[in-house]
């Protein structure tokens, strides 16, 4: 017997209370639950994550302090349809709490996707509906279980998926070119059986393929005129890693990864004035929702909550060097469980690397020809998730000047529908003959638990206004900034306004910079949009948070998700919209800032057969946080760039 291979695992030394659960800890959590609770055979583990300790404990934690490692677990009993939440102390080998949560549905579990596809394909009525359309080879049918949302259907109380389908012509074919429009299977996921089939209309399959590789499409010849572009970091990267703690160029932070949110950043700070000055306690994607704008039967329920319903973290890709990230890369695995309680590790789910970012700052003194240039570099931590047809990259960038950037990249396949010959769709774009992509939007809500120089922060709205005509403004050129502290949660539900260059600053009224202003970070908005569904729509009842670009709440550790804890099949009224009804004070308080980012997507022909990345994002920019430009100490580029040519007027 090979003793090296026995179960004597090395006990991991957990150095910090925010270190994510290790594979061993996930195993132990499941074992403790199985031992101490009579878990039925049809219990599924919907989620096993670190139970984050209280903020006070984390902030006062000193290296070597004892840590009670706890897991937060969501379980679903397929037998009864009941959902439970449990907290397990791994350290004390004990189930600390066990709670039945009524009238909720956990998000999809990955194994449910596969089982759902099986169930639909095995259903004789569904097979009949396929046969009517001339589809006989079930292996080529792609079943995408869409979240059911909430439309007051008779299936209320059941755990439901609405399965939409596409069909390939061959195993490596792009099936999204051939939507089986008009056919939906309603699946009971607890019983894993089809309960109903909706057969609205039999549409012809579009005539052309949607293939995008040279192997699958004769019309694609890969370019051969591209020379290598190598990123060489001969002395290695400039960051330092200790577990999930990262330090780089004055930045200091930790990260974790959850099946729902994907990347989570903690305790982000910047070293300045001899100490690490805190900026954010926790930053994460708090929800994303993709509402479709087509009111016709096959598409009018498409509102995917990709984070709360599907779990962006559990859908993370394993990343590959040279493909997903270039340069000196450090990858991290994401640890979670499958629904049967087995450890599931996504290798290389998170990528950490540095990128050259062009000119940081530059000035040429044209009288003496002295030029000073500093290059900018950014540290990027990212992951990519595939949600059926779409693929999303999430990038957090740390810049040397204290700017923090958030970018989302949307790519992959647009959602598709079939058209009759000559049919011109009102609510979408024809992207190929008899194939169309409905109009839709992608909303991303980022939750930022701020701690600018300390826990107590305020939010200030700034609007730029033109000066009145008159003696003070003789040439009518004047304008100035009007600032206002937003004092309550209801007052802070706000939207962007291009006319006033509106933005918001997160300030610490108790910490002043050297000219006496409160230190602050401002939200630098980039592209954004507003929703078009009206207030009576199911979407707006469930995702009312997309009505505003900004929300600010008083910190409550139970308020983590813009759509509420259990958005799947939820009729709405939970989440951010509910949190702000308390209308708590947000001035000089422990506050959480929620920023909503909308990508308005009217599909283009060029989005097909695969869409080039659409990038959307925002930045948190220091605004009087530092006393002056904090990058004067950046090293000069080597060799020094000087005296190249002469100055000409």
Tokens at residue 404, please?
A: 């923090």
Shortest separation between residue 184's beta carbon and Ni ion, angstroms = 21
**Are residues 93 and 68 in contact, defined by beta-carbon separation less than 8 angstroms?**
no
The residue (of 443 and 594) whose beta carbon lies closer to Ni ion is 443
Which residues on adjacent β-strands are paired with residue 289? 305, 443
Distance CA 437, CA 412 (A): 13
CB atoms within 10 A of CB 289: 27
Question: How far is residue 63's CA from residue 186's CA, in Å, rounded to a whole number?
Answer: 52
Classified as helix, coil or strand, 310 is helix
d(CA 435, CA 178): 8
The distance from CA 16 to its chain's CA centroid, rounded to whole angstroms, is: 24
Helix (H) / strand (E) containing 121: helix 110-122
Measured from the CB atom, the residue of 133 and 601 that comes closer to Ni ion is: 601
Nearest alpha-carbon partner for 457 in 587, 579, 333: 587
**Nearer of residues 279 and 414 to Ni ion, judged by Cβ:** 414
Compute CA distances 112 → 2, 118, 155, 564, 578, whole Å: 36, 10, 18, 22, 30
b/e string for 145-158 if b means 16 or more Cβ within 10 A?
Answer: bbbbbbeeeebeeb
Nearer to Ni ion, 14 or 613 (CB): 613
Nearer to Ni ion, 203 or 601 (CB): 601
- Smallest gap from residue 407 Cβ to Ni ion (A): 16
User: What is the Cα–Cα distance from 189 to 168, expressed in whole angstroms?
Assistant: 25
Catalytic member of 123, 173, 306, 391: 306
- Residue 390 annotated as catalytic: yes
Query: Could you tell me where the DSSP H helices lie in 241-284?
Result: none
Residue of closest CB approach to Ni ion: 601
Which ranges of 123-275 does DSSP label H, i.e. alpha helix? 124-132
The residue (of 411 and 462) whose beta carbon lies closer to Ni ion is: 411
CA distance 509 to 209: 60
Residue 638 exposure: Cα atoms within 13 Å on the Cβ side: 2
Cβ-based nearer residue to Ni ion, 355 or 614: 614
Pairing of strands 70-77, 245-248: unpaired
Write down the least CB distance from residue 419 to Ni ion, Å: 19
* Structure token pair of residue 349: 């789910």
User: For residues 377 and 601, which CB has a smaller minimum distance to Ni ion in the complex?
Assistant: 601
Q: What's the min distance (Å) between Cβ of 410 and Ni ion? A: 6
Tell the smallest beta-carbon distance from residue 287 to Ni ion (Å). Answer: 17
**What distance in Å separates the CA atoms of residue 603 and residue 430, rounded to the nearest whole number?**
9
Q: 191-195 contacts: CB < 8 A, separation 24 or more? A: 191/78, 192/115, 192/116, 192/118, 192/119, 193/119, 193/123, 194/119, 194/120, 194/123, 194/125, 194/126, 195/155, 195/158
Q: How far is the CB of 348 from Ni ion (least distance, A)?
A: 26
Q: How far is the CB of 186 from Ni ion (least distance, A)?
A: 25
Contact criterion met (CB below 8 Å) for 357 and 48: no
Which CB, 78 or 302, lies closer to Ni ion?
A: 302
Is 590 assigned a catalytic role? no
* Cis status, amide bond into 639, omega within 30 of 0: yes
Rounded least distance, CB 412 to Ni ion, Å: 9
Minimum separation from the CB atom of position 447 to Ni ion (A): 22
Termini Cα distance of the chain: 83
Q: What is the distance between the alpha carbons of residues 192 and 112, in angstroms, rounded to a whole number? A: 8
Catalytic choice (176, 390, 436, 521): 390
Q: What are phi and psi of 310, to 5 degrees?
A: -105, -30
CB of 440 to Ni ion, least distance (A): 6
Nearer to Ni ion, 503 or 596 (CB): 596
Binding site for Ni ion (CB under 5 A): 601
Catalytically active residues are 306, 390
């Amino acid at each position: 017997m090979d003793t090296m291979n026995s179960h004597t695992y090395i006990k991991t030394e957990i150095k910090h209370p925010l270190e994510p659960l290790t594979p061993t800890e996930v195993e132990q959590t499941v074992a403790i639950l199985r031992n101490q609770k009579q878990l039925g055979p049809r219990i599924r583990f919907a989620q096993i994550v670190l139970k984050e300790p209280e903020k006070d404990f984390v902030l006062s934690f000193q290296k070597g302090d004892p840590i009670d490692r706890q897991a937060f677990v969501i379980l679903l009993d397929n037998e009864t349809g009941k959902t439970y939440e449990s907290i397990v102390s791994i350290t004390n080998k004990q189930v600390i709490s066990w709670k039945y949560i009524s009238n909720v549905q956990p998000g999809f579990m990955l194994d449910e996707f596969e089982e759902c596809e099986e169930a639909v394909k095995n259903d004789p009525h569904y097979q009949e509906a396929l046969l009517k359309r001339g589809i006989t080879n079930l292996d080529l049918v792609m079943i995408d279980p869409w979240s059911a949302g909430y439309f007051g259907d008779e299936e209320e109380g059941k755990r439901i998926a609405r399965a939409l389908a596409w069909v390939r012509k061959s195993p490596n074919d792009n099936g999204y070119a051939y939507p089986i429009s008009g056919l939906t299977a309603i699946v009971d996921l607890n019983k894993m059986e089809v309960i109903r089939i909706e057969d609205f209309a039999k549409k012809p399959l579009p005539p052309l393929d949607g293939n995008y590789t040279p192997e699958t499409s004769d019309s694609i010849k890969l370019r051969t005129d591209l020379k290598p572009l190598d990123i060489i970091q001969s002395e290695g990267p400039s960051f330092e890693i200790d577990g999930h703690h990262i330090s780089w160029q004055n930045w200091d932070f930790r990260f974790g990864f959850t099946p729902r949110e994907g990347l989570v950043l903690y305790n982000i700070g910047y070293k300045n004035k001899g100490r690490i000055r805190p900026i954010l306690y926790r930053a994460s994607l708090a929800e994303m929702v993709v509402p479709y704008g087509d009111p016709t039967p096959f598409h009018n329920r498409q509102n995917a909550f990709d984070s709360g319903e599907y779990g962006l973290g559990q859908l993370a890709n394993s990343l590959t060097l040279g493909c997903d990230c270039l340069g000196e890369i450090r990858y991290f695995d994401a640890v979670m469980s499958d629904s049967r309680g087995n450890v599931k590790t996504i290798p290389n789910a998170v990528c950490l690397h540095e990128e050259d970012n062009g000119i940081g700052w530059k000035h040429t003194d044209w009288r003496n020809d002295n030029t000073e240039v500093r290059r900018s570099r950014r540290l990027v931590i990212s992951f990519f998730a595939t949600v059926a047809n779409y693929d999303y990259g999430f990038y957090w960038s740390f810049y040397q000047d204290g700017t923090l950037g958030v970018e989302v990249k949307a790519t992959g396949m647009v959602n598709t529908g079939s058209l009759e010959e000559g049919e011109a769709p009102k609510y979408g774009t024809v992207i190929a003959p008899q194939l169309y992509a409905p109009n839709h939007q992608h909303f991303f809500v980022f939750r930022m638990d701020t701690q600018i120089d300390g826990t107590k922060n305020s939010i200030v709205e700034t609007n730029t206004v033109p000066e009145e005509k008159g003696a003070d403004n003789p040439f009518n050129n004047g304008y100035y900034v009007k600032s206002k502290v937003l004092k309550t949660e209801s007052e802070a539900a706000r939207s962007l306004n291009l006319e006033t260059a509106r933005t918001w600053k997160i300030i610490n009224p108790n910490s002043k910079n050297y000219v006496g202003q409160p230190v602050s970070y401002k939200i630098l908005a980039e592209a954004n949009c507003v929703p078009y569904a009206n207030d009576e729509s199911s979407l707006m009842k469930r995702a009312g948070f997309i009505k505003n670009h900004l929300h600010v709440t008083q910190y409550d550790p139970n308020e983590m998700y813009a759509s509420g804890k259990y958005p799947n099949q939820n009729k709405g009224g939970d989440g951010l919209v509910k949190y702000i009804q308390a209308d708590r004070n947000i001035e000089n308080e422990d506050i959480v800032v929620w920023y909503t980012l909308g990508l308005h997507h009217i599909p283009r022909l060029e989005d097909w057969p695969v869409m080039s990345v659409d990038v959307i994002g925002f930045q948190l920019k220091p605004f009087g946080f530092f006393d002056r430009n904090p990058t004067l100490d950046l090293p000069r580029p080597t060799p020094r760039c000087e005296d190249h040519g002469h100055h000409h007027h």
